[in-house]
Chains A and B, each alone.
Chain A
């Protein structure tokens, strides 16, 4: 049970730790790291799903009769590209957040936003 489903256990552990990091960490870079781990777990899930026991790599050859399923591999190539795009976009957003807020800690950003809102509302009341 434990050995046979080893990959699945790895997937679950990675997935949950990734999601936990996204939720629990206040640092935006750490959040992105968590997000990437979370996505990677899904890649592993797809890739191990495609494995046919005793099957070889899906390259056509006369000596081989059992192949692993190439489709999930192809699918996950697409998903990896999507993942890279997301991480790149996320990081560039963090750069811009740092430029305009001067911090990449969630709490401090939230604080600045709250102050800003309070200020705007006060102006409203005065007028």
Chain B
């Protein structure tokens, strides 16, 4: 059983999805999905434990040996990603039944859980697999279910946002497919480990260069890096709240994982950062992304839009950390990835509670909610403080590591810009706080969110504080992952 954990991680939710369809009762399907997601989380904890004690796990699908068969390969980075995805998915699911009751048409609830599990499968699959083509397949499983989930949103803009995401997402995925094809043409292999050994021989050819360009652009479309982020704000804002809080924490993170995996492991450090001027390019785009997205966030009237733009800015921080291409920089990126998943899922889940009580998440509807829904609004405030990077929250930890990584390289101007970017976060978080706490309430008073929301929200908020104080777990795993990526780079 233990030996088969890597495949169980992916197969359990995949098999569970159609069973959900058979159950065909909203509550029953929810319970089942929750249990499945919980089991996935358990599997990922076991995997992480195993990786941290015994090192990399390699699993051959169907017993076919590695370069020929499909290999599932779990190292520290994969294990960390698997844990983030499955844990967030489980916590978010707790709040699902109440939230989708209001936001999704009756009779479509079972489909919601089916699609949710499928997108979970896809994300876990992308991370677990060590085969480049398998990545594409899982990417499309995730994306297709994501388009459908977003289109379930109540407003008519949801369908339009979903269509725009479909066009952009398909172009991105097809770019990745072209890149993989070109790599296969040059090396005759699809296994990532094998690719990393064979690519250096042909690294100087134009084909490999083209393959790299296609893969990177494709992945950047998926991770909504500035200026390829246009699909994200509407997709997040009009999707059902539960979907937003799940995707904001996981889907762009999975794309960042792919970016790291392809640049560091498959193409190798020396190719990615010396042959191609990736460093300057990503540093610039990351910084511009932080500023443009943060400033756009300040001008939003819909809070989901506001935090969606903030997500793009946070991706900018990860990209800056990535572009340093040192162990410290990568550690900062991975930490921020973990931490941002905690912050954003907490904030969006709290917004789901607001949407449940108030009916919308426009800024002016928040008036006076600080007194009417104190626990929910407090969660948004703590999440917001974490976004800014106030000490004792996770946001501080990752910003600290990012700054020290920048200073280690002597890049003072960039460090200053990062701090300025955080100041912008103060403005947009303050906008929310001001309305919620310092404006008189209008309209009918609302009650505090039901307990079904408060428990998952506060689990996430407390995790935000806990990992901001006790950084042993997150830092240790992120550092181990970063070191193994550099050790593995040929």
Which A residues form the contact surface with B (CB < 8 A)? 19, 22, 28, 31, 35, 38-39, 42, 45-46, 49, 72, 75, 78-79, 82, 85-86, 89-90, 93-94, 96-97, 100-101, 109, 113, 116-117, 120-121, 124, 127
| Alpha-carbon distance A97/B155, docked complex (angstroms) | 11
Binding-face segment, B43-51, B132-140, B270-278, B385-393: B132-140
Contact between B362 and A22 (Cβ–Cβ < 8 Å)?
no
**Given A42-B181, A86-B166, A121:B301 Cβ within 8 A:** yes
Q: List 11 A-B contacts (CB under 8 A).
A: A19-B171, A39-B170, A42-B174, A42-B177, A78-B137, A82-B137, A93-B162, A97-B163, A116-B157, A120-B301, A124-B301
Interface assignment of B467: CB less than 8 Å from any CB of chain A: no
- Residue numbers in A under 8 Å from B364 (CB-CB): 124, 127
Query: Shortest Cβ distance from A71 into chain B, in angstroms?
Result: 8
Given contact pairs A85-B140, A90-B170, A96-B159, a sample of 15 additional A-B residue pairs in the complex whose CB atoms are under 8 Å apart:
A35-B167, A49-B181, A79-B177, A85-B144, A93-B147, A93-B162, A94-B163, A96-B151, A97-B163, A101-B160, A109-B160, A117-B301, A121-B301, A127-B364, A127-B442
Within 8 A of A (CB), among B313-349: none
Interface assignment of B178: CB less than 8 Å from any CB of chain A: yes
| Alpha-carbon distance A42/B133, docked complex (angstroms) | 14
Interface assignment of B32: CB less than 8 Å from any CB of chain A: no
Residue picked from B136, B171, B177, most chain A C-beta under 10 Å: B177
| Alpha-carbon distance A28/B166, docked complex (angstroms) | 12
Interface assignment of B148: CB less than 8 Å from any CB of chain A: yes
Interface assignment of B430: CB less than 8 Å from any CB of chain A: no
Query: Shortest Cβ distance from A122 into chain B, in angstroms?
Result: 11
Query: Shortest Cβ distance from B18 into chain A, in angstroms?
Result: 16
- Residue numbers in A under 8 Å from B163 (CB-CB): 28, 90, 93-94, 97
- Residue numbers in A under 8 Å from B140 (CB-CB): 82, 85-86
Convert B297-313 into 0s and 1s, putting 1 for each residue whose CB lies closer than 8 angstroms to a CB of A: 00001000000000000
Interface assignment of B52: CB less than 8 Å from any CB of chain A: no
Interface assignment of B65: CB less than 8 Å from any CB of chain A: no
Contact between B171 and A22 (Cβ–Cβ < 8 Å)?
yes
Contact of B160 among A35, A72, A113 (CB under 8 A): A113
Contact of A79 among B136, B151, B159, B363 (CB under 8 A): B136
A interface SS class: helix
Contact between A93 and B177 (Cβ–Cβ < 8 Å)?
no
B interface SS class: helix
Contact of A75 among B133, B156, B174, B442 (CB under 8 A): B133
| Alpha-carbon distance A58/B166, docked complex (angstroms) | 35
Closest partner residue, chain B, to A110 (CB atom): B160
Closest partner residue, chain B, to A96 (CB atom): B159
| Alpha-carbon distance A86/B133, docked complex (angstroms) | 18
Contact of B170 among A46, A86, A96, A116 (CB under 8 A): A86
Closest partner residue, chain A, to B141 (CB atom): A82
Query: Shortest Cβ distance from B209 into chain A, in angstroms?
Result: 16
Interface assignment of B486: CB less than 8 Å from any CB of chain A: no
Interface assignment of B458: CB less than 8 Å from any CB of chain A: no
| Alpha-carbon distance A75/B131, docked complex (angstroms) | 12
| Alpha-carbon distance A120/B157, docked complex (angstroms) | 14
| Alpha-carbon distance A120/B155, docked complex (angstroms) | 13
Contact between A45 and B178 (Cβ–Cβ < 8 Å)?
yes
Interface assignment of B184: CB less than 8 Å from any CB of chain A: yes
| Alpha-carbon distance A51/B136, docked complex (angstroms) | 23
Closest partner residue, chain A, to B301 (CB atom): A121
- Residue numbers in A under 8 Å from B178 (CB-CB): 42, 45
Within 8 A of A (CB), among B148-194: 148, 151, 156-157, 159-160, 162-163, 166-167, 170-171, 173-174, 177-178, 181, 184-185
Contact between B181 and A22 (Cβ–Cβ < 8 Å)?
no
| Alpha-carbon distance A38/B185, docked complex (angstroms) | 20
